[in-house]
Amino acid sequence: MTEKDESVKNNTEHTEENENVKNEASSSNDVENNPSEEELNNESTSEHDNDDKNDQSKDEEIQQLQLKANENEEKYLRLYAEFENYKRRIRNENETNKKYQAQPVLTDILPTIDNIERALQIEGNDESFKSLKKGVQMIHESLLRALKDNGLEEIESEGQEFDPNFHQAVVQDDNPDFNSGEITQELQKGYKLKDRVLRPSMVKVNQ
């Protein structure tokens, strides 16, 4: 082999060695620059876990907000119901007060009616007495008419079945003309205002 051929051979080998070194360096850089499949999987898993945690945190926050909204709605409905009950109670009270507003006056005037009726039971033959009695009778009728216009009603008694809601039995009678439990005589008139008893009738009841 000539010296020239040997030189060419040496250059070729040197060149091949340099290329091998470059290839090894390149491979090393590729390994360093390109993560392994396991590293990629770990990174993907970590990101997935973070996403799951974020989603879970959001779900918990939404759930808490929903619970709070439900509590506020329940409080509102309870307060609304209480307010409606309050309005209904006040309205009923006002209607009741309006319906029975004349009760105190009517109750106070009942003894006066009793006295007038007792006076009308007195008998006399004198003309002046008869004239006075007629005047009193007119006043009595006018007074009863005005009181009835304000809701006063007489409680029916004589001949009626005894009712403890409207009658007060003070005497027991034994009258064959009446059935047992019927009222044979009214001793004092009873009155009511619409459906409310102002004073029960004092009566005699057949046994």
Q: Quick check: is 125 in a domain?
A: yes
List per-residue pLDDT tens for the chain, 207 residues long. Answer: 554 444 444 445 555 555 554 555 444 444 445 555 655 555 556 666 666 677 777 888 888 888 888 888 889 899 999 999 999 999 988 888 888 888 999 999 999 999 999 999 998 888 999 999 999 999 999 999 999 998 999 999 999 999 999 999 999 999 999 999 999 999 999 999 988 999 999 999 998
Q: Quick check: is 84 in a domain?
A: no
Q: Judging by beta carbons within 10 Å of its beta carbon (0-12, 13-18, 19+), is residue 103 exposed, middle or buried?
A: middle
Query: In the Cβ-directed half-sphere of 20, how many Cα atoms lie within 13 Å?
Result: 6
Output b/e per residue, 130-160; b: 16+ Cβ within 10 A.
Answer: eeebeeeeeebeeeeeebeeebbeebebeeb
Task: Please report, as a single letter, which amino acid is at residue 147.
Answer: L
How many angstroms separate the CA atoms of 51 and 58, rounded?
10
Residue 57: the pLDDT is: 79
Choose among 52, 55, 56: nearest CA to 44: 52
Q: Quick check: is 164 in a domain?
A: yes
Cβ neighbours of residue 69 closer than 8 Å, sequence gap 6 or more? none
Number of helices (H) and strands (E) in the chain: give both, helices first. Answer: 4, 6
Angle CA(171)–CA(176)–CA(180) in degrees, nearest 5? 60
Q: Quick check: is 148 in a domain?
A: yes
Residue 98: the pLDDT is: 85
Choose among 144, 159, 155, 148: nearest CA to 201: 155
Residue 4: the pLDDT is: 45
Residue 195: the pLDDT is: 86
Residue 198: the pLDDT is: 95
Question: 122 lies in which domain range?
Answer: 102-206
Q: Quick check: is 181 in a domain?
A: yes
Q: Quick check: is 128 in a domain?
A: yes
Residue 43: the pLDDT is: 58
Residue 103 and residue 198 in contact, taking contact as beta carbons nearer than 8 Å: yes
CATH number reported for the structural domain that contains residue 156 in this entry: 2.30.22.10
Domain count, the chain: 1
Q: Quick check: is 39 in a domain?
A: no
Q: Which structure tokens are listed for 143?
A: 């007074």
Residue 40: the pLDDT is: 54
| The residue count for the chain | 207
Q: Quick check: is 115 in a domain?
A: yes
